Structure 1
Amino acid sequence: MTTAIPQHPGPPAAPWTGQWVTDRLGVRLTGSAALPELLGLAVRRNEKRAHLLVSQVLGKHVPQRPSVIHGVGLALGRRVAELLGPAASARAVVLGYAETATALGHSVADGLGAPYLHSTRRAVAGVAPVGGFEEEHSHATSHLLLPADPGFLAGDGPLVLVDDEFSTGTTVLNTIRALHAGHPRARYVVVALVDLRTAADRDRLAAAASELGVRVDLVAAETGGVELPPDILERARELLAAAPAAPALPDGPLAPVLRAVTTWPADLPDGGRHGFTPEHRARLEAFLPGLAAEVAGLLPGPAAGPVTGPGTDPSGVLAADGRRVLVLGFEELMYLPLRLAGALAELLGEERVSFSTTTRSPVLAVDHPGYAIRTRLAFPAHDNPGDGGSTERYAYNVAPGEDPARRFDAIVLVVDEPGDTPALHRGEQALLHQLRRVTDRVVLAVLPSYRPGASRPAPQPQPQPLPLPQPLTGPAFSSYAAEDVRWLLTDLSEVALEAPTEEREEAVQSGGAHYAESLPVEYQPSPEYQELFRQALTASARRMALAVGTVAETLLRERGAGALARPAVPGGGLVLASLARAGTPVGVLIRRWLAFAHGLDTPHYAVSIVRGRGIDPVALRYLAEQHDPAGVVFVDGWTGKGAITRELAEALAGTPFDPELAVLADPGGCVRTYGTRDDFLIPSACLNSTVSGLVSRTVLRADLIGPGDFHGAKYYRDLARADVSEAFLSAVAGHFGAVRAEAEAAAGQLAGQDRTPSWAGWAAVERISAEYGIDSVNLVKPGVGETTRVMLRRVPWRVLARRGAGADLDHIRLLAAQRGVPVEEVDDLPYSCVGLIHPRYSRGATGVDGTAVATEAN
């Protein structure tokens, strides 16, 4: 019996995604004119079979809308129910084939309302197989049957066998013979998307049914055939030998990884490996909306403001620009990720969510519109399968290739616990690492792997975490008021940490010390420099206020309680975490804006991040215990080349925290949330502790900071007479009323723009490094803020100033004159200025131009 299924994904692509193979190997589809809507073609890397029929509706190799994938299986299942009738349907059991048809079989079982089991290639300790069979043409041939109930297949009702295609019928015959020997029954129904058998194959199945004395019915979406030239294996070998190497993945910053933390329902299987009943299905249906909402909360924020209406996400997680999300399943784990994708599509919009799965099948990738497998990610197996198969796995059509329209903005990777191993995370070839190169964000959801008889292992004693320290506040630590900021730091005020700048620079560049292990001697500005600071503050306070307001209003729109559908809490659902110490004055200002403009009492903490060592893990644990991590926003003053932006993303990978950084000025094009991308002077960059609550930069040294301690810092009480921290804040906040309407309008305008980071600053830094013979980009400090830091804390070599830059650089020119550092005016500079640290610094060294390297004595 052949049953046409009306749910196809639409008209075939132009050209057909099998044309490339037809032109080169002579493979042709025959029969139903609808076959090209269901199938494309690709070339296998398999000595037994040269071609691969690539389904457009299976969710394995080609990303597809989850409603299409599940809908085709449901429709097939309903047709089986019509064929069997109510009485026989009530006694039917469905068996799907691993790995490709696990979700299809499960969807057929949904449509039929029957219990479901799929074969598996993963042996499970403590679970004895009740049967197995061979798939002769496959790259991994052995199938195991591991039902939790040994009598799962023992009934006499119809057995429904589901595979993606009937090519020869050999696998079906092997299965029926193996199962019938142990549990004979009168009727079998074979279901597939396409039936491509020859007349001889059909006769062979009919003869086998007659021999066994059983009835075998067939249900397929479409029927037809495949014409193969006699020399196809030889042609395929030549084609594979001549195939070019796969292009490299895009370079640049890695996308962050967020981990979804899910409380999985007790004793609910994660799929059909050990059996899945209609009762399990009902529990899953009730659980899915909550899981989808949790995952949606970790996806990128809106790029064009929240949208409402049919098919949109009421939480505003995705926006009207049509961000695309791929839910990526894991080999046999197809059904539950597919259903998660469907639930996400209900939240975010049908056209925005696609689904596909990783696979064991080795296939040639060709980035051509007439070929079904455009791109390929190859990665080491990460589930320790122990089945003797290949140790390489694949994800197809996930990377965008040459067509940017194929790019996914976020990828939700769903694996089970055996797949969450170091091989998934570590190394440039690891799947997670490669996914981070082809999208903006990766969400990792790890599901507990159900094992019969041990659904929940006995709880093991866990080491108790060290007690958390408490935040420091003013006036005991810092000159800021206690309500302005809580410092997640250890007070090291009584420890001698300062070293002369020359010694610190030599130790850092020689590799003998890390910059965070000591402190520079606090620079005390001359009266002339102090006057420059006052003038700069007067000139730029209004501009600062506008940037503060723009960032605050953007955060409230996109990260506040309404945007993430969290209950309204003080602070609009936001928690500010400024990166100590340059980000702390900015965090205080954003907090004061939210209080001034919206009456919000927003929690604000200062946390330490250290380049090369990451963010303070004890501070993260404190924030996670006190607040919803989804509401924590990390704040800094400005971006240079983006080193801290990258450091933050790396440090927060795999945590529930959002790694997107908010800054006032983003001249490097490194972040999405900013007040401006102009490189203007933020006056707090002109000074050190005396504009930052009298707190030093942060310190991380093993002999001072234990495993349960926050990173450290000093409070310079002796500099109180020079402290201008509150004067700076008051000068900027004094303009809040005048710029409020302008800031709200600016935030609204940014919401409608594409704010994707360009990383133009990083490219400029690499160019400057090459031009000036500097081996390490860490010695190139772009932007007004970073150049100021070079002049105050490091041993500068020279300053590059954009030709025509004005008063924003007055303080730089004064510092350069005081220290004997040349200022070189250049063209084509995306920043106002760039500070260079000499790449071969040592005492008494000379620069590459023969001039003496500036020292602290200058």
Structure 2
Amino acid sequence: MDHAVDNRRQDHMDERPPAREGAGTWTGAWVADRLGVGLVGDEKLTGLLGLALRRNPKRAHLLVSHVLGKHVPQSPSVVHGHGFALGRRVRDLLSAEEARTAVVLGYAETATGLGHSVADGLGTAPYLHSTRRPVDGVAPAGGFEESHSHATSHLLLPADPALLAGRGPLVLVDDEFSTGNTVLNTVRTLHERYPRGRYVVVALVDMRSPADAGRLARFAREIGARVDLVTAASGTVRLPEGVLEKGQRLVAEHEAAAAARPLPPASAAGTVRRVDLRWPRGLPDGGRHGFTPAHRARLESALPAMAARLAEALPAAADHGRVLVLGFEELMYAPLRLAHELEQVVGAEVRYSTTTRSPVLAVDDPGYAIRTRLVFPAHDDPADGPGERYAYNVAGAGFDTVVAVVDSRADTPALHAPDGLLARLAAHVPHVLLVVVPSHVPAAPSAPDLPGGSPAMLPEPLRGPAFSSYAPDEVGWLLRDLSDVTLEAPTEEREEAIQSGGAHYAESLPVEYQPSEEYQDLFHEALAASADRMAQAVGAVTEIVLAERSPRPVLVSLARAGTPVGVLMRRWARFRHGLDLPHYAVSIVRGRGIDANALRWLAAHHDPADVVFVDGWTGKGAITRELAAALDAFEVSDGIGGFDPEIAVLADPGSCVRTYGTRDDFLIPSACLNSTVSGLISRTVLRADLVGPHDFHGAKFYRELAGADLSPVFLDAVSARFPEVLDAVTAQAGELLAADRTPTWEGWAAVERISEEYGIHDVNLVKPGVGETTRVMLRRVPWKVLARAGAGADLTHVRLLADQRGVPVEEVADLPYTCVGLIHPRYTRGATGADGRAVAV
């Protein structure tokens, strides 16, 4: 038989749409009538599985999952939901400590997306999947054989072999648990090298015989470990005598018959267009080399924008039709999450499946799982040489658009060839969109002499009372003490230098503003009025961090506004949960990024995945963006990843983050003062002549202001309200955890509008929110204050400061913030207004 001709005939086997998924038509009668093979189980089992036949010398039948997203297009929310639910069951099975230290391992190629979804359900677990693709420069940390598979050899290629060396449970995820051989091979191989006390096996269906079930129990006793099994359904496959030989003959007969039929005409002459989703730099495309909770958080934050770009690229007609997002072999999770996000934002019926290397017979029968197939050459330069690849139940399924998602290694001439995947799809679908995700290759290990020095060369954190008025256990400052250096300059002089480009704001310090007695009275009044509100926000954001980020997070405050918040979050964790959380303060500088030496120190002493960055509030989100960009650059330069860029804040009026206590723009009393409410520490300094390559960023300890220090007063006033707000925190945290907290960045849009409306044309000179406006009044040369009409007590201190500094306050009706502080470009010394004060010209 002419092999190329056979490919084309199989490509067009069925032009009629198969029954829509979920219609309950998979009776299994076609296979059962011809071979006597059948599924034995309840309705739950038969609702998850169908039967098909394949070309395989070891096993004739194929269990085709209805909810896996491999062979059968399915709703992405259904696919992800099944894996996520299994992950939740695993989390409930484990203790809190076990859940924190668990690692999830999925099997290529079929279960790579399922394993990712299970890790999502666990929430805090890193993920790795086996692969059949060797990667230059990455040494295998292990491997095993899958005896019944079409392609048997699996490699384990973690970027960090320590991922497999932990003592926590290993969660192994496959689509089906048939004989247990694959799992036994895996556990035996890994346990010899990385022994641990517990394994959890997860599968959609458990199809073992009683004898096979006993083997797993005996094996667990043999290695002295606990092995649990979590599945969605169970049953067995009835296999009569001689079924393998009969199945092979049946497959050969039907493929020969298909080759003899004349080719039907192509149903479409579709167009092919490439769409750039702007995949985040450095974010792995999947779990081939490891996928951490921090990677997951980055993906979550990037998905809305990527799905929006994909939705914009869809043809107009697709909004009322059917769209298939088609993944590529092991690349299952990224396409699944894109499809899931797309499903939320378009009117089309979105489905998801992936291509595969497994050859399966296609039969146009409603009782058979694989109705059509497309055949095309492998296009990712596979290690086992050129060969065929397949896409099932795509042809004739009524799709208006197919979004083909491949990694960059697979974006080859073979993909675009006349007989390649894109051409095959275009013969059946009017519109084909190609999305290429960068193939992730782990960075080479960093050299011992890192640019900023190895962690061993870095000093230990500074602590009170030698540095700051906080107790030594409240916070460790990853800063250099510059207390003996004169860094202060008059505010007007600093403003001129900053706006003229002659100096960066972090190269000097403003003279510490010492408020009047009237203003200090206002601080105490504001603290008394808002302590309950503060305590509730502290409790809510801490509970969200513990529930979603890590059961034992490492709090890292962005100095200095974040430091009092980090101390309060640490106090809440001790009050509510008895946890003694590590807490540090680090420097981040707009335009210069976060202190890389501080990151190196943290990575050497803690798991980066446990680090939660903390700040007081968001304005327009500049620091949020700065942190994400800085962590990306750090991962590239140092090869150290895993830090989550998502900041936890008390208040998020700009809608810039997912982790917050409230989105109200209210007065946080610590914003009212400078160092005297922040442990007597200055803002941070970064200047080349003061901060060397082996130093942390600098700051000063104003010991001379001890008599005016209100830092302990502020902390004690808020934490004293913890018992009173406990019930309110429980309710508020529950509501937030259940809510859609996706950032809308409406604050950024408002700042851009205000910048244009007031002729500033520089968003850095627009400071939105009560906290940022207060900073403008205390540290910069303000031009005016915009106040939302009707704003009450939250603005009293701002109005007092404005009056003292001769700054006009303008009432604005539709302001999204309580107030906004404006700095007018360009500030010039010598220009004065009618009151004799310097003004902007």
Shared topology, TM-score over 0.5? yes
Alignment CA distance shift 1:112-1:693 (3 Å): closer
Matched, 1:594 2:576: no
Mapped to 1, the partners of 2:788 and 2:758 lie a distance apart of 16
Task: Name the structure 2 match of 1:614.
Answer: 593
Equivalent of 1:415 in 423, 434, 439:
439
Alignment CA distance shift 1:80-1:766 (3 Å): same
Alignment CA distance shift 1:809-1:217 (3 Å): closer
Alignment CA distance shift 1:714-1:262 (3 Å): farther
Matched, 1:833 2:819: yes
Q: Percent identity?
A: 57
Does the residue aligned with 2:615 lie in a helix, a strand or coil? Answer: strand
Give the C-alpha shift of residue 376 in structure 1: 8.2
Give the C-alpha shift of residue 852 in structure 1: 7.7
> Aligned ranges for residues 298-313 of structure 1 at < 5 Å?
298-300=295-297
Mapped to 2, the partners of 1:483 and 1:36 lie a distance apart of 65
Does the residue aligned with 1:557 lie in a helix, a strand or coil? Answer: helix
Task: Name the structure 2 match of 1:558.
Answer: 548
Q: Does the Cα contact within 8 Å between 1:636 and 1:663 map onto a contact in 2?
A: yes
List runs of 5+ in structure 2 lacking aligned partners.
Answer: 3-9, 21-48, 62-108, 110-130, 135-144, 155-247, 301-323, 340-349, 357-377, 382-396, 424-431, 636-640
Equivalent of 1:823 in 805, 809, 827:
809
Matched, 1:516 2:506: yes
Alignment CA distance shift 1:756-1:481 (3 Å): same
Question: Given the two structures, how large is their TM-score scaled by the length of structure 1?
Answer: 0.55
Q: Does the Cα contact within 8 Å between 2:557 and 2:566 map onto a contact in 1?
A: yes
Matched, 1:225 2:263: yes
Task: Name the structure 2 match of 1:632.
Answer: 611
Give the C-alpha shift of residue 697 in structure 1: 0.4
Mapped to 2, the partners of 1:686 and 1:613 lie a distance apart of 26
Does the residue aligned with 1:556 lie in a helix, a strand or coil? Answer: helix
Q: Does the Cα contact within 8 Å between 1:551 and 1:747 map onto a contact in 2?
A: yes
Q: Does the Cα contact within 8 Å between 2:405 and 2:436 map onto a contact in 1?
A: no
Q: Does the Cα contact within 8 Å between 2:567 and 2:583 map onto a contact in 1?
A: yes
Give the C-alpha shift of residue 815 in structure 1: 0.8
Which digits, 9 at most, give the CA deviation of each residue in 1:386-419, with x for residues without a partner?
99999xx9999xxxxxxxxx99xxx9967364xx
The one-letter code of the counterpart of 1:643 is A
RMSD, aligned α-carbons: 5.2
Question: Given the two structures, how large is their TM-score scaled by the length of structure 2?
Answer: 0.56
Give the C-alpha shift of residue 104 in structure 1: 12
List runs of 5+ in structure 1 lacking aligned partners.
Answer: 3-27, 39-70, 84-95, 97-102, 118-190, 196-214, 265-290, 304-325, 346-350, 362-368, 397-405, 418-445, 449-458, 562-572
Mapped to 2, the partners of 1:625 and 1:225 lie a distance apart of 63
The one-letter code of the counterpart of 1:532 is L
Alignment CA distance shift 1:113-1:830 (3 Å): closer
Does the residue aligned with 1:577 lie in a helix, a strand or coil? Answer: strand
Mapped to 1, the partners of 2:333 and 2:751 lie a distance apart of 45
Q: Does the Cα contact within 8 Å between 1:32 and 1:224 map onto a contact in 2?
A: no
Q: Does the Cα contact within 8 Å between 2:783 and 2:839 map onto a contact in 1?
A: no
Which digits, 9 at most, give the CA deviation of each residue in 1:408-454, with x for residues without a partner?
xxx9967364xxxxxxxxxxxxxxxxxxxxxxxxxxxx499xxxxxx
The one-letter code of the counterpart of 2:459 is P
Equivalent of 2:14 in 15, 32, 41:
32
Alignment CA distance shift 1:471-1:584 (3 Å): same
Give the C-alpha shift of residue 631 in structure 1: 1.2
Equivalent of 1:803 in 789, 807, 812:
789
Mapped to 2, the partners of 1:486 and 1:223 lie a distance apart of 76
Which digits, 9 at most, give the CA deviation of each residue in 1:27-85, with x for residues without a partner?
x99653557789xxxxxxxxxxxxxxxxxxxxxxxxxxxxxxxx9999533379659xx
Equivalent of 2:648 in 650, 653, 662:
662
Alignment CA distance shift 1:394-1:709 (3 Å): farther
Task: Name the structure 1 match of 2:528.
Answer: 538
Which digits, 9 at most, give the CA deviation of each residue in 1:222-257, with x for residues without a partner?
97734269xx9xxx7xx97xx9x989969xxx9685
> Aligned ranges for residues 649-688 of structure 1 at < 5 Å?
649-653=628-632, 654=635, 655-688=641-674
Task: Name the structure 2 match of 1:92.
Answer: none
> Aligned ranges for residues 329-478 of structure 1 at < 5 Å?
335-337=329-331, 373=401, 415=439, 417=441, 446=442, 463=449, 465-466=453-454, 467-478=457-468
Does the residue aligned with 1:578 lie in a helix, a strand or coil? Answer: strand
Give the C-alpha shift of residue 300 in structure 1: 3.6
Equivalent of 2:621 in 613, 618, 642:
642
Give the C-alpha shift of residue 698 in structure 1: 0.6
Which digits, 9 at most, give the CA deviation of each residue in 1:592-642, with x for residues without a partner?
111111111111000111111111111111111111111111110001011
Equivalent of 1:623 in 585, 589, 602:
602
Task: Name the structure 2 match of 1:20.
Answer: none
Task: Name the structure 1 match of 2:141.
Answer: none
Alignment CA distance shift 1:540-1:247 (3 Å): same
Q: Does the Cα contact within 8 Å between 2:540 and 2:661 map onto a contact in 1?
A: yes
Equivalent of 1:78 in 16, 41, 56:
56
Mapped to 1, the partners of 2:671 and 2:726 lie a distance apart of 24
Task: Name the structure 1 match of 2:714.
Answer: 728
Give the C-alpha shift of residue 784 in structure 1: 0.3
Does the residue aligned with 2:815 lie in a helix, a strand or coil? Answer: coil
Alignment CA distance shift 1:370-1:817 (3 Å): farther
Q: Does the Cα contact within 8 Å between 1:838 and 1:853 map onto a contact in 2?
A: no
> Aligned ranges for residues 731-750 of structure 1 at < 5 Å?
731-750=717-736
Task: Name the structure 1 match of 2:470.
Answer: 480
Which digits, 9 at most, give the CA deviation of each residue in 1:330-374, with x for residues without a partner?
xxxx6554599999x9xxxxx99965799799xxxxxxx976545
Q: Does the Cα contact within 8 Å between 1:639 and 1:663 map onto a contact in 2?
A: yes
Q: Does the Cα contact within 8 Å between 2:285 and 2:438 map onto a contact in 1?
A: no
- Equivalent residues, number: 543
Task: Name the structure 1 match of 2:760.
Answer: 774
Does the residue aligned with 1:415 lie in a helix, a strand or coil? Answer: coil
The one-letter code of the counterpart of 2:673 is L
Task: Name the structure 1 match of 2:193.
Answer: none
Q: Does the Cα contact within 8 Å between 1:76 and 1:221 map onto a contact in 2?
A: no
Q: Does the Cα contact within 8 Å between 1:35 and 1:224 map onto a contact in 2?
A: no
Which digits, 9 at most, give the CA deviation of each residue in 1:681-700, with x for residues without a partner?
00000000010000000111
Which digits, 9 at most, give the CA deviation of each residue in 1:266-317, with x for residues without a partner?
xxxxxxxxxxxxxxxxxxxxxxxxx5xx5467424999xxxxxxxxxxxxxx
Does the residue aligned with 1:463 lie in a helix, a strand or coil? Answer: coil
Equivalent of 2:678 in 692, 701, 706:
692
Task: Name the structure 1 match of 2:778.
Answer: 792
Matched, 1:706 2:707: no
Mapped to 1, the partners of 2:153 and 2:478 lie a distance apart of 52
Mapped to 2, the partners of 1:37 and 1:110 lie a distance apart of 33
Q: Does the Cα contact within 8 Å between 2:559 and 2:588 map onto a contact in 1?
A: yes
Does the residue aligned with 2:465 lie in a helix, a strand or coil? Answer: coil
Mapped to 2, the partners of 1:221 and 1:608 lie a distance apart of 68
Does the residue aligned with 1:706 lie in a helix, a strand or coil? Answer: coil
Mapped to 1, the partners of 2:297 and 2:352 lie a distance apart of 14
The one-letter code of the counterpart of 2:539 is G
> Aligned ranges for residues 105-184 of structure 1 at < 5 Å?
none
Mapped to 2, the partners of 1:590 and 1:327 lie a distance apart of 42
Alignment CA distance shift 1:460-1:651 (3 Å): closer
Mapped to 2, the partners of 1:256 and 1:416 lie a distance apart of 10
Q: If each structure's helix is expressed as a fraction of its own residues, which one has the higher value? A: 2
Give the C-alpha shift of residue 789 in structure 1: 0.3
Which digits, 9 at most, give the CA deviation of each residue in 1:743-766, with x for residues without a partner?
111101111111111111111111
Does the residue aligned with 1:842 lie in a helix, a strand or coil? Answer: strand
Q: Does the Cα contact within 8 Å between 1:31 and 1:224 map onto a contact in 2?
A: no
